[in-house]
Amino acid sequence: MTTGQHRVGKPDGESDTGPTDDDQLPSLTEQMAEQLGGWRGMVESSIPVIVFVAVNIVTELRPAVIASVAVAVAIAALRLAQRRPIRHAVNGLFGVGVGALIALRTGNEKDFYLPGILYGIGYGLVLLGSAVVRQPLVGWLWSVIVAGGRSEWRQDPRLVRTFTWLTVLWGVVWLAKVGVQAALYLADMDTALGVARLALGYPPYALLLIITIWTVRRVTRAQAIAAPVTG
């Protein structure tokens, strides 16, 4: 439904707050930008890892850790000074900081990536477990992030099935990509692990977001069209 069209069955002056119309949701590109932090958020979250990989190749562990943490702090400070959202920068700083601390304590470069691997395994298992108990995590995240806390999808069998298979898809992809990183970690392939961390970071995440947003919007749009017009 386009802007300017009148809704059927609603008297003039009465507002309609129904959540079923597709035009009340942010566009696919707006939702993608919000979750990825825009192109700047994607670039900035990748820079500390790129710095760590590059400096570690040229020098050794300690300078690489110092450089990556310094870059992460500088990015967060810059966004704060510009009064821009710092959620993605803070998340990146926390991840880099934990990895750097572990790597410094063990003296092993590959341990920089260990927190991300462990987090990925846990997240993948939680996703699959939520689907098994018919409380698909993707559905609840959709409720919080997109639907303003509403959870009407729990009363809709078709949406429950949709969110369940989407949650399984997320879980399988998450475990697959973390499995590649774990294999490189166990094989002591530090540089390849860094490259894999970057390659298997945002690209699969962006693809999963596109599939999720497109699928849910398609299902809700089809249901709105199929619903009988009343009033």
**Distance between CA atoms of residues 53 and 123, nearest Å:** 25
* Residue with the larger pLDDT of the pair 21 and 172: 172
pTM: 0.70
Contact 124, 200 (CB under 8 A): no
- Could you tell me the two tokens for 29? 């590109």
User: Any idea which of 6-15, 77-86, 164-173 has the lowest mean pLDDT?
Assistant: 6-15
Taking Cα atoms as reference points, which of 230, 212, 220, 225 lies closest to residue 22? 220
159 CB-side CA count, 13 A: 23
Q: What is the mean pLDDT of residues 202-212?
A: 88
- N- to C-terminal Cα separation, the chain: 17
Is 188 in a helix, a strand, or coil?
coil
What's residue 177's pLDDT?
94
Q: What is the mean pLDDT of residues 141-152?
A: 76
Boundaries of every domain in the chain = 28-107, 112-226
DSSP string, 16-40: ---TT-GGGSPPHHHHHHHHHTHHH
